[in-house]
Amino acid sequence: MNDGALRAALQKLLAVGEGASDNAMKARFAKKNAPVVEPATCPECQKPLVEGKCEACGYSAPAEGDEENELAELLEQGE
């Protein structure tokens, strides 16, 4: 009986299992050691912002691209 094919199949199966186990451990490690992202706070009352707005005082955070647009406008005006 030639058990070479059986051994090869078992080695392949073990390699796949070890790879899956390694990937699972890497994912758990990355999740455990991920940086903690603190929620944004209102600069006026220090309460957490909900979708860029403060429910306590009504402050609204500027949109992501607003600062870049303002800088571009100022540079164009200075020509």
Q: Give the model confidence (pLDDT) of 34-60 as tens digits.
A: 887 777 888 888 888 888 888 888 888
In whole angstroms, what is the distance from residue 11 CA to residue 26 CA?
A: 22
- Scan for tokens 């020509």, then name that residue: 79
CB 52 within 8 A of CB 42: no
Compare 63 and 7 and report the one with higher pLDDT. 7
Give the pLDDT band of residue 78 (cuts 50, 70, 90).
confident
Q: Is the pLDDT of residue 72 over 70?
A: yes
List the domain boundaries for the chain: 1-37, 38-79
Q: Is the pLDDT of residue 2 over 70?
A: yes
Give residue 40's pLDDT.
82
